[in-house]
Structure 1
Amino acid sequence: MPIQQVCSNGQMEAAEDVAKLIAEHRQSVAALECIGKRWMGAEGPDAIVLGERLDAVMAEEAAVRRRAAIAPVATIAEMKMKAAYFQRLTAHGWCEIDVDDWRALLGSFATAVLGEEC
C-alpha cells in the first residue's frame, strides 16, 4: 500500500497501516486497563500519582483511537478490519467512542468508496 496523507488537526501526516494502528490502540487500551486497576486499589499519595498517570494514558488512548479512525483504507479487507474493530470496542465497552471518532471512521470509509476527501 502506498503511503497516503491524512489530515489530522489541520496538519498533514503520513498514514500508517490500519493493522498497525489497531495493534497500537489495543496496546493503549491494555495499558489503560492495567493502570486503572492499580489506581482502584491505591490509597493516599499513590492514588494521586496513579490518577495523573491514568489521565495521561487516557489522553494517549484517545489520540491513538482518533488516528485509527481517521486512517484511510486502501482495500475492502482493511475497511472490514476497521469496522469490526470499532464494533468490538463498543460491544465490549473497552472505551468510549465520541461522535468525532465516528465521523472520522465513516469519513475514511466514504473516502475509500468515493475516492475523494469528504
Structure 2
Amino acid sequence: MHLSHAPDAPSADPIGFDDFLKVDIRIGTILNAELYPEARNPAYKLLIDFGPGIGRRKSSAQITENYGVDDLPGRQVAAVVNFPPRQIGKFLSEVLIVGFADGNGAVRLFAPDKPVPDGARLF
C-alpha cells in the first residue's frame, strides 16, 4: 500500500480503534541536532528526550528544507516510539518523527500548540 502525502489524496483504508492504539506516538524534546552528510537525502541526526518512561532516542529526519540545525534543540516533536529501529546508512534511527507535507512537499513537524510533559502519549 502506498500512502500519498498530497492534500487531495483519499483517506487510507479504515482500521479498527485497537489498531490505532498499537501506534505509540509520544512527545519529546530535541536535545541535539546535527547534519547527517552521509544520508542519501539531506537529513539531520537528532537526539530526543521522551521523559523517564522512554528515555532518550535517536532519529534521522529529512526536515532540512524547513528547519535549520540550530532551530531544533528545545523544540518538542511527536514521534512513533514503538517501531523497530531502522538502519539509515550508518545511523540507527530509533523513532519516527511525524509531520505533514507543506505546499512544496517538504516536512513540517507536528507538535502540540503549548508545551506538554515529555513522554505524553497521543490519544
Determine if the TM-score, normalized by the shorter chain, exceeds 0.5. Answer: no
Q: Normalising by the residue count of structure 2, what TM-score does the alignment of the two structures yield?
A: 0.24
Over alpha carbons, which structure has the higher Rg?
A: 1
Higher strand share: 2
Q: Normalising by the residue count of structure 1, what TM-score does the alignment of the two structures yield?
A: 0.25
Higher helix share: 1
